[in-house]
């Protein structure tokens, strides 16, 4: 899969290259203000698409955060596509200042995936889970426990990228996709998990433990 070693996600290269080129043109024209503006955009775009290394030695039962950001919901939710019953849902909101590369929360097999076109409400709003553009991935571990991870586009985001395909075996902590520019990730867990985070907490993708599977 992509972006396993690159310090900047390759999806950002076209944007960085475009802004860098415009910066160079304005610099050659000696348009100082425009040069500084686009230099700032170039640097911010490189920062936005940063892809830092993350490591965790947590026990196998630990479910790791699939995204950087702020926890905006922890609690029960009805998931009708796969579980058709009340499960535990954790929602993480990513601002434009968070790392936007997403990571696998649990080792396992990709047993199903979906993509829905939708609207672009603010990702922090409750209705974003239902109405926004989104892509979901259903994982099943060696014990048969399943969880659903859903990437949701936000107010500015217009592109969800997901690398795996159905049948892939993924390792916890591996990069599996990203969302451009400001978004949200919802994770649906079995209702008997022991959650470890609360609303308002900041989490680190691939390192923070969200919950423990029993």
pLDDT surpassing 70 at residue 19:
yes
pLDDT tier for residue 150 given thresholds of 50, 70 and 90: very high
Q: What is the pLDDT of residue 116?
A: 83
Contact 47, 96 (CB under 8 A): no
Q: What does the pLDDT average to over 80-91?
A: 89
Q: What is the pLDDT of residue 123?
A: 47
Task: Record the pTM.
Answer: 0.86
pLDDT surpassing 70 at residue 119:
no
Selected catalytic residue, list 95, 107, 143, 183: 183
Helical pair 32-48 and 13-28, crossing angle rounded to 10 deg: 170
pLDDT tier for residue 72 given thresholds of 50, 70 and 90: very high
For residues 30-58, b (16+ Cβ closer than 10 Å) or e, as one string? eeeeebeebbebbeebbebbebeebebee
Q: Range with the lowest mean pLDDT among 67-76, 128-137, 194-203? A: 128-137
Q: Write the DSSP assignment of 147-184 as a string of letters.
A: EEEEEEE-SS--EEEE---TT-EE-TT-EEEEEESSEE
Is 183 part of the annotated catalytic residue set?
yes
Alpha-carbon gap, residue 102 to 119, rounded angstroms: 21
Cα 125 off chain centre by: 16
pLDDT surpassing 80 at residue 54:
yes
Give whichever of 35-49, 149-163, 171-185 has the largest mean pLDDT: 35-49
């Amino acid at each position: 899969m992509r972006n396993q070693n690159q310090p900047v996600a390759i999806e950002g290269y076209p944007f960085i290259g475009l802004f860098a080129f415009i910066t160079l043109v304005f610099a050659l024209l000696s348009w100082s203000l425009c040069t500084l503006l686009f230099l700032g955009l170039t640097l911010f775009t490189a920062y936005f698409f940063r892809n830092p290394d993350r490591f965790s030695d947590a026990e196998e039962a630990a479910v790791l955060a699939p995204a950087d950001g702020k926890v905006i919901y922890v609690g029960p939710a009805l998931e009708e596509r796969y579980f058709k019953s009340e499960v535990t849902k954790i929602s993480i909101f990513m601002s434009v200042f968070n790392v936007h590369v997403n990571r696998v929360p649990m080792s396992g097999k990709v047993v199903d995936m979906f993509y829905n076109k939708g609207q672009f409400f603010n990702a922090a709003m409750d209705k974003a889970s239902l109405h926004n553009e989104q892509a979901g991935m259903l994982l099943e571990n060696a014990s048969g426990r399943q969880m659903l991870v859903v990437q949701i586009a936000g107010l500015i985001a217009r592109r969800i990228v997901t690398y795996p395909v159905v049948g892939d075996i993924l390792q916890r902590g591996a990069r599996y996709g990203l969302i451009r520019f400001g978004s949200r990730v919802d994770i649906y867990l079995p209702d008997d998990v022991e959650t470890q985070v609360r609303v308002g907490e900041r989490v680190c993708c691939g390192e923070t433990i969200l919950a423990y599977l029993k």
